[in-house]
Amino acid sequence: MTSLGDTKAPEGPRVRSAVARRAAGRSLEAPFYTDREFFGLDIAAIFTRHWIFAAVDAEVPEPGDYTTVDIGPYPVIVLRDEEENLRAFHNVCRHRGARLLDAGRGSAGNLVCGYHKWTYGTDGALRYAPSQPASFDPSCFGLKSVHVRSVGGLVFVCLADRPPADFDDVAARIEPYLLPHDLRHAKVAARSDIVEDGNWKLVMENNRECYHCDGHPELLRTFFPTYGYTEENLPPQLRPAHERYLRADAETRETYERLGLPYALIEELDNRATGFRIQRDALDLAGESFTADGKAACRPLLGGLPTPRLGHLALHMQPNSWFHVVADHAITFSVLPLAPDKTVLRTTWLVHPEATEGVDYDLDTLTKIWTATNEQDAHLVARAQRGISSPAYEPGPYAPTEYQVEAFCNWYITRLREALDDD
């Protein structure tokens, strides 16, 4: 694997002291969101050390299929090789370092650099380098590989020499939830990249709470706004929604039991390297999908499951992803940092492989709710970034319903401490 031994965490005293004095239960100090040195630490301590959600198997179903993803300054290729194995490589030519493949997706028997035509096989081996002397040894110039794993059709990569060892355990625990939906053999119905004007952590933090959910009228047709609340801290105005939730929850639990679908909450967000949270949960109205009336938007159901009224399977993974799987489609979200105040949110919609657009589903109906929700969240993230950039900003307290934001920040700060201690 590639050695990233040079990407040590920066050791600036400002960074060290800010990490040391982080106050639990409060938002982070401004430089964590705005400062280039802190951003460098995020890349070195988080994005080059942990498993990053990068793609879905359905983007690369056939040998030669590839997709690209930029993880901070590291462009990466995820592809299916000739033996149908999943592979990942640094998207950097071994000749003079040109970016090998342009951004996007495609299919190719060989990977050809657009500069001087060095040509690599899908196994990363250099197959052709024009006009080299007889002494040239192509076996010394294969593409640099990156660790890659598929979990139930979700593809994670790790840039580190030694990825976090707990990923096997996490994979074993989340795969039983994912496998009944057969995402590995799903079809990509749509993919969107939006550039948000905020730090990547603000994108993640915003997703970990529903305190702001009245900003999502479309989503709240079916997503219960009680998410993150308990009986003890439920606001009175959410009581009717909570009553509906309890009824829907009892019904969907019966369905999960009958179909043998795992549904119990597992929440290990900040007590391990690969923090995660998974749960099956009810949806409002028809309870089938993220649509205006809650009814399924696509006719063949994922995995051929016998009923559409399954609520949603929600999965969060530290540091950069979340997922919703409903009976008729799945949506994956990947948060990819560009700069201290710029982040790509990549959203991918998956449907049954035999579903035909315009016949079995209308693309606009399928993508409408989360497209609107993403736009609304992007505005909130930009708003937070702008305020945090003011010298008047100081960290503020999380409400109880924001406990997952605290868990994210605690996971993050713990990882920074570990990285700084390793130096």
d(CA 344, CA 338): 7
CB of 47 to ligand FES, least distance (A): 25
Name which of 86 and 129 has its Cβ closer to ligand FES: 129
> For 323, phi and psi rounded to 5 degrees?
-145, 145
Q: Residue with structure tokens 């060892």?
A: 165
d(CA 400, CA 419): 29
Binding region for ligand FES (CB under 6 A)? 93, 95-96, 98, 113, 115-118
Tell me if residue 321 falls in helix, strand or coil.
Answer: strand
Name which of 117 and 383 has its Cβ closer to ligand FES: 117
Name which of 92 and 416 has its Cβ closer to ligand FES: 92
d(CA 243, CA 32): 40
In the region spanning residues 352 to 391, those forming contacts with Fe ion, defined by CB under 5 A, are: 377
Tokens of 238: 């959410």
220 binds, among Fe ion, ligand FES, none (CB under 5 to 8 A by kind): none
d(CA 53, CA 335): 8
261 binds, among ligand FES, Fe ion, none (CB under 5 to 8 A by kind): none
d(CA 110, CA 92): 15
Name which of 281 and 377 has its Cβ closer to Fe ion: 377
d(CA 72, CA 87): 20
Residue 402 CA, chain-centre distance (Å), reads 20
DSSP 108: -
CB of 73 to ligand FES, least distance (A): 18
95 binds, among ligand FES, Fe ion, none (CB under 5 to 8 A by kind): ligand FES
Name which of 14 and 116 has its Cβ closer to ligand FES: 116
Which helix (H) or strand (E) segment holds residue 170: the answer is helix 167-178
CB of 264 to ligand FES, least distance (A): 50
93 binds, among Fe ion, ligand FES, none (CB under 5 to 8 A by kind): ligand FES
d(CA 70, CA 68): 7
96 binds, among ligand FES, Fe ion, none (CB under 5 to 8 A by kind): ligand FES
User: Hey, what amino acid is at 39?
Assistant: F
377 binds, among Fe ion, ligand FES, none (CB under 5 to 8 A by kind): Fe ion
CB of 404 to Fe ion, least distance (A): 13
By rule CB under 5 A, what count of residues binds Fe ion?
A: 1
CB of 129 to ligand FES, least distance (A): 7
Contacts of 299 (CB under 8 A, 6+ apart): 328, 355, 360, 361
Q: Is residue 182 a contact residue for Fe ion (CB under 5 A)? A: no
Name which of 117 and 386 has its Cβ closer to Fe ion: 386
Residues that bind Fe ion (CB under 5 A): 377
